[in-house]
Structures are given as C-alpha cells and as structure tokens.
Structure 1
Amino acid sequence: MPPVAFLHTHILVVVLFLVFFAIKAVLLLLNKRDTLDRMRSKTKIVDIVLGILILITGGYLLFLYSGRIPTYLIVKIVFVLLAIPLGIIGIKKESKGLTVLSLLIFLYVYGVAETNSLAMNKEEPSVAPITNTTTELPVKKAPEEITPAEAAQEEILNAMGETLMANAKAIYTQVCATCHGEDGGKGLGGAALLTQSQLTLNDRINVIEKGRGLMPAFGSQLTPQEAEALAAYTITLNTTN
C-alpha cells in the first residue's frame, strides 16, 4: 500500500475512533449510563480494532518519514498516546473529568494536525491563489537584485507553453491536490504549503522525482519534462513572492 493510502487510512480510523469516543463522552456527560453501557458493549471490538489500526498506521507513517521529525509531530504523538488510555479509563470508570480531559486533548491534537503548528495558527494565503496556466513567476525585486538562479528559473517558466502548463496542472490535480490542495495551501498530513514554499525549481524537481517525508517518489511515473513542468506549475501557486 502506498504512503498516501496509509495516510488516508490513518485519518479515517482516527476520525471513526473520535466519533465513537465523542458520542460516549456526550452520553456520560448527560448521565445516560444505560445507553452508554449498551454502546460500550456493542463497540468494544470496534474500539480495539480502531485503536490498533491507529497505532499501526501512525507508526508506519512515522517510519516512512524522512529527514528531521518536526516538533509538532512529536508532541502530537505524545498527546495521542496520553489521550487514548485516559479516554478508555474515563469511559470505563465513568469519570467525567478524565473523559473531558481526554476529549480536549484529542481536539487539540486534531487542531495541531490540521495546522502543522502547536499554536494552531496556520497562516492563510494573503492573496487569491493563481490558477491560470500561463502565469509567469511573480517577481517584485528590482532587475539588479535578481540572482542568476532566479533569472534562469523565471526564463524556464516563461518558456513553458500553454499546453505543457495545462498538462502539468492536470497532473497536479490528479496526484498532488489531495495532500497539497488545489491552491497549494492544504498541507494534509504535513505536506508542504506550496503557497509559501521557497524551494528552487531544481529542488522541486528533485522532491517530485525522489520524494520527501511521506510524499512518495514520482520519478518512475513522470517523464523528466513532465516533472519539470509540474515543478514549474507549483511555483505559480506561491503567493508570497
């Protein structure tokens, strides 16, 4: 199973686990103990399976992660490992305090996962995303301030024909948009925010062909020309230039 499929499976089992836990927490807080006992009895096996799947898929994704593991991800893992037993004990002992504490930790972890930030302050793009296929690399620097590398990068972008860029956009929509978002600002599962990325064209091509973190390598699926065009297209998503 490819890493992206594992990521989606992990997200699905986490959401299901949280839904069941939230329902039980509400029943406990409303003193619906009979209903709670019946639900616990019916979902006992499901809870065990979901818990195991969370650990397996999460552990595998962590194993696949290349490079330095971000601090927010380490904190997220620690909090999840803390919240799961707290939630189980809270529901089993019918402790409202432990259950609410566990629920709050889960909500915080979800916020961290969505924003890739311990402060949950994901930065939104300040301008509308660029979507046309013939967009040139936006440059605000004076001509004398542009480095040779930036000039070469802009020249490559300008040389990309409309057909090639349209094809690159189609490839992006098919294989990249799920995690990066249509506008490059989604950041699912730690995916880079392309609206803010400052990687050069060559660096982007290298990441596309060889992969990084949870992102799989696409070098065997794309031609060098397609990889270059795709890298060029991602540059047009940057809204910070």
Structure 2
Amino acid sequence: MHPIALFTFMPSVAFLHTHVLVVVLFLLFFAVKAILLLFNKRETLDKVRSKTKIVDMILGTLILVTGGYLLFLYSGGIPTYLIVKIVLVLLAIPLGIVGIKRENKVLTVLTLFIFLYVYGVAETNSLTMSKDEPSVAPISHTTTETPETDATETSVPGPNQSGAAQQEIIDAMNETQLANAKAIYTQVCATCHGEDGAKGLGGAALLTQSQLTLNDRINVIENGRGLMPGFGDQLTPQEAEALAAYTITLKK
C-alpha cells in the first residue's frame, strides 16, 4: 500500500469528526434552551442565551463549513437522504433562532424534532433511519485475476449463506495476504468502520451487516462511495481484492 493513502484519507476523517462533534454540541445547547423554555424558566433562559450567543454562532458556522466541505468530498451522485438533510438543516437553523428569540414553544419543539431527525438520518444514511444498507449497483472495473481470485469470488456469501461460505474466502488467502489486508484495514478503514466493522461513524457502512458482494466491495474500495474516498490509486488490484475479502470476514 502506498503511504499517501493514509494522508489522503485523514482530512475527510478529521472534518467528519469535527462535523459530528459540533452538531452534537449544537443539539445539546439547543435542547437545554428548549427545555428551559418549555418549563417557563425564562430568566434562566435569558442568561443561557446571553452566555451562549457567540458559541451558537460559531457552532452554526462550523456546521455549515464542515458540512459543505464533506459534501464537496462526496463521491458519486448526491443521494436523496442527503439532499433532504441539507434542506432540513437550512430550514431548522433559522426556525430555531426565531423560536428561542420569540420564546415560541411550538417553533422550538418543531425545530428540536427536526434536528433530532436530521441527526438520525445522518447516522444511518436513511430517511427512515434504518441501518440496513441499500444495494449498490456494480461499477465496471478491470483487474488481473488469478485462479485463486476466481475461486474466492465464487465463494462470496450471499444474504442467506452460512459462515462456512465466508470461511472459504479466508482459506483462499495465504497468511501474508490476510495479514497485509488486516494491516491496511486497520490503517485506513477502522477509524470509521471500527476494528470489528460495527462502528459506523458518520453513517459508514456496518460491515457486520453488509450484503455487498466481493466485486461490489472492490468497486467501493477502488472508486469510493459517499464520504469514503477511492483508494484505486494507492492500492494494487491484489491489495484491493484482499482488503475486500477481509471485510467479508467481519460479517456476523
């Protein structure tokens, strides 16, 4: 694996972490003010508003900046859930400002629900807030295959196959290939997907549940998807294939 892969990936990961952090902080501050308003603690609300006014402006700006940058990095066409999320955020921010400023409980509660819904959509990449991963159409690519590669591809487990079929993929890889694939995964994938494939940071696919075939996984690794950049320029075809096979072993 070329060392530049890690440095290519780190900016998007840093912005993703920052975006998630500022969104959570913004939600916490807004939730506190919403609760104070709902319980008619207006004096306390005024004090909190005056102390957090600048912080709210900074967090709101950071949400837009980091979100805009992540959108710029997005690979492929922008999915419907992301468009809806952006529209709702642009709607909720002014609604929340007006609701708190005018002490309008209806607008404030509505804004709170919108923010919570948007956060759920962002974490699941789904308008229904379901973690089930949508199917992805294969992207055409060319790679040099060996007889072992063909055997591995024919052993790719489908949704209803047992763990024995997954084990065949591991058996087709020698110890060196498996160790190299695990090292690459730990270096550039574990931050968002987790060591066990179940982290799902910022809507990253849950590899413990993913139904993608080996070819689909290779396509995603080489070409990227969503906020995940493509590593086709940094990995050899054999490394991409071994990494894809390794991710299948994480499926429960």
TM-score range, shorter chain: 0.7 to 0.9
TM-score (norm: length of structure 1): 0.77
Give the match's secondary structure for 1:2: helix
CA distance in 2, matches of 1:139, 1:231: 13
> Is the 8 Å Cα contact of residues 156 and 214 (structure 2) preserved in structure 1?
no
1:28 corresponding residue in structure 2: 37
* Structure 1 stretch displaced more, 88-97 or 186-195: 186-195
Specify which of 113, 130, 134 is matched with residue 122 of structure 2: 113
* Structure 1 stretch displaced more, 218-227 or 166-175: 218-227
TM-aligned CA distance change 1:204 to 1:122, over 3 Å: closer
1:127 corresponding residue in structure 2: none
2:57 corresponding residue in structure 1: 48
Shift of 1:18: 0.7
CA distance in 2, matches of 1:121, 1:219: 30
> Which structure has the higher relative contact order (CA within 8 Å, separation 6+)?
2
CA distance in 2, matches of 1:31, 1:61: 38
5 Å-filtered alignment, 1:41-80, equals: 41-80=50-89
Shift of 1:89: 0.6
TM-score (norm: length of structure 2): 0.74
1:198 corresponding residue in structure 2: 212
Matched, 1:235 2:248: yes
1:196 maps to a residue whose letter is S
> Is the 8 Å Cα contact of residues 167 and 249 (structure 2) preserved in structure 1?
no
5 Å-filtered alignment, 1:154-169, equals: 157-169=170-182
Specify which of 101, 104, 111 is matched with residue 102 of structure 1: 111
2:182 maps to a residue whose letter is K
1:198 maps to a residue whose letter is L
Identity %: 77
Superposition RMSD in Å: 2.9
Matched pairs, number: 217
Unaligned runs of 5+ in 1: 125-135, 142-150
1:232 maps to a residue whose letter is A
CA distance in 2, matches of 1:70, 1:62: 11
TM-aligned CA distance change 1:121 to 1:224, over 3 Å: closer
1:200 maps to a residue whose letter is L
* Structure 1 residue ranges, 4+ long, deviating more than 6 angstroms after superposition: 153-156
Specify which of 197, 220, 224 is matched with residue 184 of structure 1: 197
